[in-house]
Amino acid sequence: MPAWLSKLSLSDSYSHFTYMLRVSLHVEVEVEVYLFQEVLTMPSAYSQAEYLASLPRQVEIPPTTPEHYITGLYALNLAAPEGTSGDWHDVFHWQDGTEQPRQVTLAGMGDIETSPIYGGLGIYEGKDRLVAQGLDIPASMQRVYIANHSRAILDLLYRSLHRWGRVLNLTGATTDWLDTRDQGERLLEQATMLEPSFHPAAQDELRRWIADEASTLRAVYG
């Protein structure tokens, strides 16, 4: 067992495991095996029920509509119909925090009001995709509406400009979360439609982000 893992308690090991998983796939397999071995040899005083209770829970999936759909990083961490890459490095994004429960990002709730701009662009019914990814869906929930990766990026762009008047944490979005030059250029063209929704300073920030992303696309794809 690696020295760093042997010094940790069981609960600490899970936090470190989460971090190491993001470093490389090789570490993911290695740490997962060690963590499993530690669970098998844990003291009998630490019951299985107590161990399971200490693990993060899945976030609750709320009711959705075509106007109030799952978006942002939650949508980017689902397999979209177009097969784009999305944000798959964060495999724990759908797990809840024990002290501060997370809420799934929904459009149409104040920070993200893009339906008047884009309508139903990129919105799909994705209940089966959630189930295929191992997520639990309430039995009464017949449909789950989700943004595809391009719409999720546009929604995050809108939210950042709406909240802060700046574009934050979206550098490289067209190449990190999408897969082709055409996809990136199409998204930047759609992003220009956001401009009338913001004041001049935020418009300048939007244009700067679009120009920077266009430059990145040229650098990556030639």
User: Residue 27 — pLDDT band, cuts 50, 70, 90?
Assistant: very low
d(C-alpha 207, C-alpha 193), whole Å: 11
User: Residue 4 pLDDT > 60, yes or no?
Assistant: no
d(C-alpha 163, C-alpha 159), whole Å: 6
User: Residue 45 pLDDT > 60, yes or no?
Assistant: no
Query: Within this chain, do residues 156 and 106 fall inside the same structural domain, yes or no?
Result: yes
- pLDDT recorded at residue 43: 44
* Residue 47, in any domain of the structure: yes
Query: Within this chain, do residues 86 and 167 fall inside the same structural domain, yes or no?
Result: yes
User: Residue 105 pLDDT > 50, yes or no?
Assistant: yes
* Residue 19, in any domain of the structure: yes
* Residue 109, in any domain of the structure: yes
* Residue 182, in any domain of the structure: yes
- By percentage, how much of the chain surpasses pLDDT 70? 70
Q: If you compute the radius of gyration of the chain from its CA atoms, what whole number of angstroms results? A: 20
Domain that holds residue 173: 72-221
User: Residue 134 pLDDT > 90, yes or no?
Assistant: no
* Residue 62, in any domain of the structure: no
User: Residue 34 pLDDT > 90, yes or no?
Assistant: no
Query: Within this chain, do residues 215 and 143 fall inside the same structural domain, yes or no?
Result: yes
- pLDDT recorded at residue 133: 83
- pLDDT recorded at residue 63: 96
* Single pTM value for the model: 0.74
Query: Within this chain, do residues 36 and 92 fall inside the same structural domain, yes or no?
Result: no
Are the CB atoms for 92 and 18 separated by under 8 Å?
A: yes
Query: Within this chain, do residues 50 and 152 fall inside the same structural domain, yes or no?
Result: no
Query: Within this chain, do residues 49 and 76 fall inside the same structural domain, yes or no?
Result: no
**Measured CA distances, 159 to 141, 169, 207 (Å):** 27, 11, 16
156-210 pLDDT per residue, tens: 999 999 999 999 999 999 999 999 999 999 999 999 999 999 999 999 999 999 9
Query: Within this chain, do residues 33 and 136 fall inside the same structural domain, yes or no?
Result: no
Query: Within this chain, do residues 77 and 122 fall inside the same structural domain, yes or no?
Result: yes
Query: Within this chain, do residues 45 and 78 fall inside the same structural domain, yes or no?
Result: no
User: Residue 132 pLDDT > 70, yes or no?
Assistant: yes
* Residue 35, in any domain of the structure: yes
Strands (E), the chain: 123-125, 145-147
User: Residue 50 — pLDDT band, cuts 50, 70, 90?
Assistant: low
Quote the number of domains for the chain: 2
Query: Within this chain, do residues 124 and 30 fall inside the same structural domain, yes or no?
Result: no
d(C-alpha 86, C-alpha 126), whole Å: 15
